[in-house]
Amino acid sequence: MNARAPRISFLLLLIILMISFGVIIRPFLLPALIALIIAVICWPVNRVFLQLLRGRRTLAAIFATIVVALCILVPLGTLISIAAVNSVSAIKTVISNLEVGHIAHALDRINMWVQDKASQVPGVQLPELNIRARLLEAVSAFGSFVYQYSPKVFTATISLFFGAVLIVIFLFLFFLDGPVLFNALISLVPLKGEHKDILVKEIAAIITGTFTGMIATACAQGLLIGIGYWIAGIANPLVWGVLAIGVTLIPVIGAPLMYVPPAIALMIGGHWYQGIFLFLYGVFIVSIADNIIKPLAMRGKVNVHPVLLALALIGGALWLGGAGIVVGPMIVALMLAMLRIYRKEFL
């Protein structure tokens, strides 16, 4: 019998079991990753309770979980609920303005002007154009998506509550046995000790730095957008500012989504000064704030170029959905760490 056969069989069985395990835990992946991020960022809280309780890990993990849940998860859940509920009403308002009113008449005039100018160009035949109908279709489709995932739907099911409970449970487990789990996993990595240390530092830095920067930037941009709406005379600027905190978490396009469409709507409705102000305010104040606040929050923590980080966030989200927002930057950070190890050891 070939001496390598048992080894190959063992590896094949191990691969099959690992794939099966991945399929089993996939429904719990996003809550676990969210809990992991919170645990890494809030690990000093657990350390303080460990010192106060003289090394009693279970009690320290319980108190740390309660404090973090009350200070982070409850306000964050409330913020998301408020944003989702108000986004539904906002989309209904936009749809009603597209159906009747000044904006609808302005869009119809623009539509007629475009068709008239196109008909005067020889050899140019535009298909039937209806700008307002296309906008209504796009906004209605987006509204259906938002309403589907808003708390009005989730509160009718157990999914939101179940997800929050899972996050709290995973958070407690990470606080309780985080070092043990970490040592067990890192021992399986076939690298030298100093190389493992580099990877660990990179992972911790990318988690802490990335999400600290994202949250700080989103809060600042939400505040700035609320102020801009208030100056431009848009109703409910506080609600829109809260909603903007969630929207601006979307890399690259998040902030423009909150000031470009309203600015265009103001100009179409005849409020030229307010619309131009809001657009310039968004470009030169809101968007530039992202380039100032995020680097300050991430300074010395993340050794990844902002463009590459944005691509990792967007690509990860397209690949794995919500979990990809975490997995994408981690993969990029690990890849760059491995390249640095290769350059140091083999070049």
Asked which of 2-16, 60-74, 270-284 is least confident by mean pLDDT, the reply is 2-16
Residue-wise pLDDT for 182-197, tens only, equals 777 777 777 777 777 7
Q: What is the pLDDT of residue 151?
A: 47
Neighbours of 336 (CB within 10 A): 16
Q: What is the pLDDT of residue 143?
A: 57
Average confidence (pLDDT) over 47-63: 89
Average confidence (pLDDT) over 320-325: 66
Q: What is the pLDDT of residue 31?
A: 82
Asked which of 115-124, 206-215, 280-289, 307-316 is least confident by mean pLDDT, the reply is 115-124
Average confidence (pLDDT) over 168-188: 82
Nearest to 161 by CA among 80, 84, 243, 77: 77
Tell me which of 56 and 200 has the higher pLDDT: 56
Count of residues in the chain: 347
329: exposed, middle or buried (Cβ count in 10 Å: 0-12, 13-18, 19+): buried
Average confidence (pLDDT) over 107-112: 71
Nearest to 225 by CA among 245, 211, 250: 245
Q: What is the pLDDT of residue 84?
A: 58
Tell me which of 315 and 224 has the higher pLDDT: 224
Instruction: Identify the band that residue 154 occupies on the pLDDT scale cut at 50, 70 and 90.
Output: very low
Q: With a cut of 50, say whether residue 152 has pLDDT above it.
A: no
Nearest to 335 by CA among 186, 178, 206, 192: 206
Per-residue b or e along 275-313, where b marks 16 or more CB atoms closer than 10 Å to that residue's CB: bebbbebbeeebbebbeebbeebbeebbebeeeebebbb
- d(CA 211, CA 322) in angstroms, rounded, equals 14
Tell me which of 32 and 250 has the higher pLDDT: 32
- d(CA 213, CA 101) in angstroms, rounded, equals 41
Q: Which residue has the tokens 């998040």?
A: 254
Nearest to 132 by CA among 164, 103, 163: 103
Q: Which residue has the tokens 């005067």?
A: 120
Q: With a cut of 60, say whether residue 282 has pLDDT above it.
A: yes
Average confidence (pLDDT) over 329-335: 77
Average confidence (pLDDT) over 156-174: 75
Q: What is the pLDDT of residue 157?
A: 43
Nearest to 142 by CA among 225, 247, 263: 247
- d(CA 287, CA 119) in angstroms, rounded, equals 39
Q: What is the pLDDT of residue 312?
A: 77
- Percent of all residues in the chain with a pLDDT value above 70, rounded to a whole number: 67
Average confidence (pLDDT) over 69-77: 73
